[in-house]
Amino acid sequence: MIERLENLTSLQDLEHMQGQLYQKLGIHLQIAPGSNEVRSMRGIRIELGELPGLCRKTRQSIPAAIRRALEKRPEIAYSLLNAHDLLRDA
């Protein structure tokens, strides 16, 4: 699943994977621009919902894989920002 997250192709693909994580593993994943300025992929907030029994490595590897995918394909990050109406004036 981590490898699949690293190879995302679009925002729709990311949303599909969010649904898959919830259906198969019960992991609620939220991805949104941070409260401050978004200057890099670090400015995008990726949060996993509380889930008892989810190990620390998994908690770290899922957001890291998504960040790597966003760095490989910046158009996904732009679509995410546009979906939150942050690029309306650009």
In a domain, residue 42? The reply is yes
Are 70 and 41 within 8 A, CB to CB? yes
Report which of 53, 36, 56, 55 is spatially closest to residue 45, judged by C-alpha positions.
36
In a domain, residue 65? The reply is yes
Q: Which domain holds residue 19?
A: 2-83
In a domain, residue 88? The reply is no
In a domain, residue 89? The reply is no
In a domain, residue 22? The reply is yes
For 62-79, the pLDDT digits (tens) are 999 999 999 999 999 888
In a domain, residue 50? The reply is yes
**Residue 35, SS3?**
coil
For 5-26, the pLDDT digits (tens) are 999 999 999 999 999 999 998 9
**Total domains in the fold of the chain:** 1
Q: Residue 15: left (phi > 0), alpha (psi -120 to 50), or beta?
A: alpha
In a domain, residue 90? The reply is no
pTM recorded for the entire structure: 0.81
Q: Which value, in Å, is the radius of gyration of the alpha carbons in the chain?
A: 13
